[in-house]
Amino acid sequence: MKQISLLMKILVCISQVPDTTTKIAFSDNNTTFNTQGVTMIINPYDEWYSLVRALELTEAGTAATVNLVTVGKADAEPVIRKALALGGDEAIRIDTDSNDPYVVAAQIAAYAKSENYDLVLCGKESIDYNNGVVGGMLAEMLDMNYIGFATKIDVAGNEVTVAREIEGGEEVDTCAFPVVISCQKGVAEARIPNMRGIMAARTKPLKVVAPADVQPLSQIVSYEMPPAKTGVKLISADNMDELVSLLHTEAKVI
């Protein structure tokens, strides 16, 4: 068996998303997400968990290289620089934009194919489109294993041990490299970039790569806001029988 631990090369997939407190609005007859006044941030799962765990693995001497990749136009650069301020050796921006997860995965796969990454980390989902699809697609395209919803990632020798969420509990798996893992809470503790990191990030390489020729397989044609709640019905604290009766006869949930 090939001993790869010291040479381990990690790719962290970073997406940029609207800040969680953003008020969501659409324009052009509900066909476009209105980005006016919206602050973009690193997708929290990518920032807090995948990236930090990758950095911990380099600090522990397990990994040699951490590359960051984002599929996005030039407007994604501030966010990828922010990610570099936390750590990582080099960032790659694939110069196209899409909200079709197939396109995103195919673009990352086209780049990663010749780079021989041992470990590809992504987040459990992007908090904007809530797909959770890119990681699994990427694994198929790169012919790698895939473990979703990791809560703990440990590397020993040429094997990774992953705790992950399953239906109604947790499972511990082991797997050989290369592997794609999607990360969630538990994998690492969020870090705050320090001044040294921010300075260093300015001079770290940010490579812009031309996109591969990939046709989208889906398009978002329009958006809709959920119907507004008609207003809360207040029930007196002394009348829980009424609440139970409303839940039965009106809401029909019990």
Partner 1 sequence: MSVIVLAEHTQGVFKKKTLELVQYAAGIAQSMGTTTTAVVLGDATDAEMQGLGQYGANKVLQVADSRLDTLNARAYSKALIAAAQKEGAKVVVAPHDVTGKAVAPRVAAALKAGMVAGAVSAPDLSKGFVVKKNVFAGKAFAFVNVTSDVKVITLMPNTFQVKAGAGSASVEKLDVAFEDKDFSVKVKAVNKVTGEVPLSEAELVVSGGRGMKGPENWGILEDLAHELGAALACSRPVADSHWRPHHEHVGQTGGTIRPNLYIAVGISGAIQHLAGVNGSKTIVVINKDPEAPFFKAADYGVVGDALEIVPKLTEAVKKFKANH
Ligand X SMILES: Nc1ncnc2c1ncn2[C@@H]1O[C@H](COP(=O)(O)O)[C@@H](O)[C@H]1O
Ligand Y SMILES: Cc1cc2nc3c(=O)[nH]c(=O)nc-3n(C[C@H](O)[C@H](O)[C@H](O)COP(=O)(O)OP(=O)(O)OC[C@H]3O[C@@H](n4cnc5c(N)ncnc54)[C@H](O)[C@@H]3O)c2cc1C
Q: Report the interface residues with ligand Y, using CB under 6 A.
A: 20, 44
φ/ψ region of 29 (left if φ > 0, alpha if ψ in -120 to 50, else beta) reads left
Residue 166, contacted partner among partner 1, ligand X, ligand Y, none, CB below 5-8 A by kind: partner 1
DSSP state of 204: S
Q: What residues contact residue 66 under an 8 Å CB cut-off, 6+ apart? A: 10, 12, 54, 55, 57, 58, 87, 88, 89
Cis peptide leading into residue 211 (ω within 30°): no
**Which among 98, 175, 181, 171 is positioned nearest to 138, based on CA atoms?**
181
Residue 172, contacted partner among partner 1, ligand X, ligand Y, none, CB below 5-8 A by kind: partner 1
Choice between 5 and 15, CB closer to ligand X: 15
For residue 117, the partner it binds in ligand Y, ligand X, partner 1, none, with Cβ less than 5 to 8 A by kind, is: none
Which of 51, 52, 122, 153 touches ligand X (CB under 6 A)? Answer: 122
- Least CB distance from residue 55 to ligand X, whole Å? 15
CA dist 131 → 8, 102, 104, 126, 237 (Å): 28, 11, 12, 7, 40
Residue with tokens 């538990």: 186
CA distance 235 to 84: 52
Taking the complex as a whole, the smallest distance from the CB of residue 22 to ligand X amounts, in Å, to 17
Q: Does 130 bind partner 1 (CB under 8 A)?
A: yes
Residue 86 sits in the site that holds ligand X (CB under 6 A): no
> Which span (4-12, 68-76, 82-90, 246-254) binds partner 1, by CB under 8 A?
246-254
The binding track of 157-186 with respect to partner 1, each residue x by CB under 8 A or -, is: ----x---xxxxxxxxxxxx--x----xxx
Give the distance between the most distant pair of CA atoms in the chain. Answer: 70
CB-nearer residue toward partner 1: 72 or 148 = 148
Report H helices in 87-185: 101-112, 134-141
Is 18 a residue that touches partner 1 (CB under 8 A)? yes
Which residues sit at the interface with ligand X, rule CB under 6 A? 13-15, 43, 45-46, 69-72, 101, 104, 122-123, 125-126, 129, 131-135
